[in-house]
Structure 1
Amino acid sequence: MATSGPVLLVSQAQQRKSRTYTPSPWGDFFLHHVPCTPSQLLSMKERAKVKEQQVRQIIHETIASSDLLHVFEKFRDESGAIVSGDDASCLLMLHDAAHARTHGEEILDGIVAWSKSRLQSLVVQKNLLEPELAEEVRCALETPRFRRVKRVEARRYIPVYEKKSTRDETILEFAKLDYNISQAIYCDELKELTIMVELHFWMLGVIHDPYCSRIMIVKIFVFISLFDDLMDNYSTTEESNVFTAAMERWDEQMAQQLPAGLKALLVRIFNATNKIEEELKLQGNMHAELIKKMVINSAKFYHAEVKWRDEHFVPTSLEEHLQKSIPTSACMQMANLALVSLGNVTTREDVEWVFTFPKIIRGACIVGRIANDIVSHEREQASSDHVASTVQTCMKQYNVTIKEANEKLRAVIEEAWMDIVQDSLEQERPRALLDIAINVARVADFMYKREDAYTLSFVIKDIIASMYIYSV
């Protein structure tokens, strides 16, 4: 018995792994960055108020003169077949619109497949399309408009719209003013967050209203993000058990059982969460106490995967995998943090509803979970102690290659998008809640489109620069 303690400690130490992560390329740049002076910001806001009313009038007049009923029927003949055409601009709009489809919409399913094929054939033929239109087609084939992150798309599209001969100068000026005003507010938030630039960018994709601060969301989400790395790489099984138990009981005394680093982290989480909760209460936010619940639940979600890691367990079916891994996509937490930041716009019932993973939230989580796994599978599986990904499970379930598994998983993502659209149409919940859920899926799709842009932050360095540094 005398030797059992030291042996156990050595065994546990061997479990703790170390992994190198890419540091943020920004350092303290945003601590000092000022995109405009206070007087310039005030002037822009005054001009924007005038332009906003003019743009509202333009939109109302456009809606009143539009025939929006049965619009997709116009692209079918009497037999129901899709009418062929080579007008790339019309095809592009049709392709984008058809992706706002739900399950069982055969017309839209057919249009998606047909328009994709036609656009692919047009874009590969050199000099057939004008360069600007060809670029729009490539963007649509990669990400249909409905699925794009709104502020990223605004930054991309303003210069495109400016080149159009059909542009409306009032709309263009208002778009620029709106973007530059928002940029100044975002940069002001980053002064308090400094190196948390990528997390702020992520939350900006979820809730972009400049008058809804992302500071609280980012501070809490830092801890949620740390849970993932902590459970995967920086704690033994026993340490993760103690850490999670302390979180669940919200007991700082249990930190005494942990190594110095984990102890300091636990105390910091407690202090920061309690402080944010008190600040929200002072603001009259009825959802303040849910912050603690969210942090505790997140720790428990990531801890649940520790057993998989230790046993090198690969679930036999994708559904089994998703039951455990959907919560650790962190998409539900993103949505709920955004809702809490809105204050009393939503009810307690609405916020609690998100905790139940309804279809729209589950769909967003599936997009995030699977898209992440597709782009990070090979890199992460190079470590033998990493939790099995959905890619591994799909390969095992269907006895297929990585490439074939990825194709099957992309089909699952398409089904998840249909769930998201369908639930957003059917749920009698506040529009703000449903829009946040859709935005969570959009930003997850963006961050994991080609690489794991959250982990490999240099991948989106240029995008972030365009969002926070360069005005339009």
Structure 2
Amino acid sequence: MEQKVEELKEEVKKKLRSITDLHESMNLIDAIQHLGIDYHFTKEIDEALDHLNNAELKSFDLHEVALRFRLLRQHGFRVTADEFNKFKDDKGNFAETLSNDPKGLLSLYNAAYLGTHGETILEEAISFSRIHLESIANDLKPPLANEVSRALVTPLPRRLKRLEARYYISDYEMEDKRDDTIFELAKLDFNLLQSLHREELKSISLWWKDLELEDKLCYVRDRIVELYFWILGVYFEPHYSCARMITMKVIALICILDDTYDVYATLEECRALTDAIQRWDTKSVDQLPTYLKYFFLKLIDTFKEFEDKLESEDKYRVSYLREMYIKVASAYLKETEWYAHDYVPTTFEEHLQTSLVSVGIPMLVCASFVGMDKVATRAAFEWVISIPEPVKASALISRLMDDITSSEHEKKRGHCASTLDSYMKEHSTTKEVAIAKFHFIIEDAWKTMNEALLKPTNVPIPLIERVANFTRMDEMIYKYTDGFTNATYLKKYILLLFVQPFDV
């Protein structure tokens, strides 16, 4: 199978290099990205998009114009949204004749979700295209009907790449103008990756089992498969295997810490554990009860294991990760004290000073850099621990979506006041009004994320992509429910990615 994949990859590379027609090139790149095999052709796609950016696309076809915009924006090019003005009528509205072009509307809808602050025309495009897509969705036939259905749930720029590949491979089989070379490659590549991911999941499950949580920490949620699915959304490519396994163990250790503070430890035990974590010294273990001694020593050992895996010049990375873990533990303690004293932060901003850390995103982004190649420099770690705008935006989206869907459940579980509680207290308003405001803040934060991915960037794009992928993962897990606590919610996606291969 591996040999066949290499042969097909060479064929696709030749196609990408030889195509001169802009329309044909865009459609091929779009299909390759949808199918999840674009990571094999980074150089060829970069060259093709450089050419596309410098060439003039003389087109009044909505699909083609929107596709060009999306492909270039996704790759960091600062293309203008003014190109869409040509599709407006003399009153400044999008022309109603576009309602007869479902493919064009879908392309416009997906492209518009790459908007940044101040791009009003893209906000108008979302509203216009969504209204018309919803009105015609039931009249469409597959595969377009399937693509529209997925887009109306989650627009393409916010979807998980692995899941999109899984769905689109099935859709692509129904395409009239299917390219059989990339179709065959996509199926083979998906199956090979699935085998690798299953092996990683087996390995991490054995590590989890060796922690002996049922005996030592019986209160901890057993969500190791769901956690691996989470990190797979951050990076799925084979060359990130080491980074993935490190991040996987970190998120598992955070899950244990979260459950310890939330549902089991007393306030005094939480304080003792926080103090031990801040000292990061095995001598601190004597102040802890037996069950926390066990966890603390496992924590120290696991971080030492990370250091041992890294090259000597990269071992410093773990010190940044340790710093972020300490910050999360301190934030958990503060929230535990809020709960113990029945305290509701008086302002939304006061709450966020703690909860943007406790949500874990800044620390997990830092963790995702630890096992990466030389692109993750010391400057990159300094960048992430400062919680820059894109990391803050990701944490904000995660925090607010989590609180919208899980605040009632968390209260029953013994959790502190949520951001919703603080917002309602500060503004003397209802939960419904607060949720509406949160959705507005979430959309604004996505614009910050989109801006961060445009060139030139403060750190290399592969690092900012980790931040964006964490955000896409949260978009999926917390969109309608607390998909992590509600284990059945993710089951169908887990089966698609880990259990069900394609027939080849």
Match of 2:271 in 1: 241
Match of 2:433 in 1: 404
TM-score, normalised with respect to structure 1: 0.85
Letter paired with 1:458: T
Match of 1:422 in 2: 451
Match of 2:44 in 1: none
Q: For 1:392 and 1:243, how far apart are their aligned partners in 2?
A: 28
Match of 1:96 in 2: 110
Structure 1 residue 201 and structure 2 residue 253: aligned? no
1:464 Cα deviation from its structure 2 partner: 0.6
Match of 1:106 in 2: 120
- On the 8 A contact 1:92/1:119 being kept in 2, the answer is yes
Q: For 2:311 and 2:330, how far apart are their aligned partners in 1?
A: 25
2:95 to 83, 92, 97: 83
1:285 Cα deviation from its structure 2 partner: 5.3
Runs of 4+ in 1 over 6 A off after TM superposition: none
Match of 1:115 in 2: 129
Moved more, 171-180 or 214-223: 171-180
Match of 1:133 in 2: 144
Higher relative contact order structure (alpha carbons within 8 Å, sequence separation ≥ 6): 1
Letter paired with 1:407: A
Distance 1:308 1:58, change over 3 A: farther
What's the CA shift string for 1:363-389, capped at 9, x where partnerless? 111111111111111211224x31111
What's the CA shift string for 1:237-259, capped at 9, x where partnerless? 11111111111111222222222
Q: For 1:456 and 1:163, how far apart are their aligned partners in 2?
A: 34
What's the CA shift string for 1:120-144, capped at 9, x where partnerless? 2223xx5x22254333222212211
- On the 8 A contact 1:242/1:254 being kept in 2, the answer is no
Match of 1:341 in 2: 371
Q: For 2:162 and 2:405, how far apart are their aligned partners in 1?
A: 23
What's the CA shift string for 1:27-53, capped at 9, x where partnerless? xxxxxxxxxxxxx4x345434433442
Match of 1:74 in 2: 86
Letter paired with 2:411: Q
What's the CA shift string for 1:256-277, capped at 9, x where partnerless? 2222111111111111111221
1:297-312 correspondence runs (5 A)? 297-312=327-342
Letter paired with 1:199: L
Letter paired with 1:75: F
1:163-312 correspondence runs (5 A)? 163-194=174-205, 196-213=224-241, 214-281=244-311, 284=314, 287-312=317-342
- On the 8 A contact 1:287/1:348 being kept in 2, the answer is yes
1:58 Cα deviation from its structure 2 partner: 6.8
- On the 8 A contact 1:54/1:170 being kept in 2, the answer is no
Letter paired with 2:473: V
Match of 2:463 in 1: 433
Q: Give the paired residue count.
A: 428
Q: For 2:227 and 2:306, how far apart are their aligned partners in 1?
A: 18
Paired residue secondary structure (1:335) = helix
Q: For 1:177 and 1:59, how far apart are their aligned partners in 2?
A: 24
Paired residue secondary structure (2:310) = helix
Q: For 2:428 and 2:267, how far apart are their aligned partners in 1?
A: 31
Letter paired with 1:406: I
Identity of aligned residues (%): 33
Moved more, 245-254 or 48-57: 48-57
Match of 2:478 in 1: 448
- On the 8 A contact 1:203/1:334 being kept in 2, the answer is no
- On the 8 A contact 1:122/1:129 being kept in 2, the answer is yes
Moved more, 333-342 or 76-85: 76-85
Paired residue secondary structure (2:240) = coil
- On the 8 A contact 2:338/2:344 being kept in 1, the answer is yes
1:375 to 385, 401, 405: 405
- Structure 2, unmatched stretches of 5+, are 27-50, 58-67, 69-78, 209-223
TM-score, normalised with respect to structure 2: 0.80
Match of 1:160 in 2: 171
Q: CA RMSD in A?
A: 2.2
